[in-house]
Amino acid sequence: MNLKNVLAVITGGASGLGRAVAEHIIGAGGKAAILDLQEAGREVAEQIGAAFFKCDVAVEAQVKAAIGAAVQALGGINLLVNCAGIVGAGKLVGKDGPMTGEYFEKVVRINLIGTFLCDATAAAFMQTNVPNEEGERGVIIHTASVAAFEGQIGQVAYSATKAGIAGMTLPIARELAKSGIRCVAIAPGIFMTPMLASLPQEVQNSLGAQVPFPPRLGHPKEFAQLVESIVAIPTLNGETIRLDGAIRMAPR
């Protein structure tokens, strides 16, 4: 697919990686709808020419309603990019005692189950699309993380969800192949997101210096460029692609 033909739903699109993807798609002539729990997403959508629908991806009814509304607004859907999620930092046994099951479950519900709910809802719509010349009806993109493979101390919940996202990518790709729908995951390394931008410059520099090459934080536009490549290359399917400058995370 070419981005100018894309009708995209982007979760977590109010900021960071999701916003970069929405801006990139719209800049290339495609259409995008942002799903986000942040009300600020409405202003972002107005600024970049996207549609906005407030949605908690952890709540199934909200996901179905928001994606359904987005499909109506866009005139269809052939791309889903899952960027919604939380960091979910915390040790298995911290200074205040063991991590609660309630907290662990919250991170799983937002990051992993939220991705699943959006996948299932979007795929049901995509299956009704008229296939293109390659027989393709749509693309689903997951946001995993290098933490799926080298989770650090304090990332027990976060790493579990990102490993789950990477792990379900191939089964989804295999299942949806008969419908001409691809599924690919991106595993970013250390990227300049709003959370990292709030850190002191010396901390940002220190984090960037850990990356072999280029020795800096990743730019959200680079994530968006990889989304474009995945959309454009039909044989990219069922894979988790590291976008990390060759970094391998240390224990802490």
Positions marked catalytic = 158
Strands (E) located in the chain: 7-11, 31-36, 51-54, 79-82, 93-94, 97-98, 138-143, 181-188, 240-243
- The answer to whether 137 and 190 have CB atoms below 8 angstroms apart is no
- The answer to whether 88 and 157 have CB atoms below 8 angstroms apart is yes
Let me know the angle formed at the C-alpha of 151 by 149 and 152, rounded to the nearest 5 degrees.
150
- The answer to whether 186 and 241 have CB atoms below 8 angstroms apart is yes
Beta bridge partners of 139: 79, 182
Distance of CA 109 to the CA centre of its chain: 15
| HSE toward the beta carbon, residue 21, CA cutoff 13 A | 35
Q: How many CB atoms lie within 10 A of CB 149?
A: 17
- The answer to whether 91 and 118 have CB atoms below 8 angstroms apart is no
Task: For helices 16-27 and 220-232, give the axis angle rounded to 10 degrees.
Answer: 50
Q: How many CB atoms lie within 10 A of CB 201?
A: 8
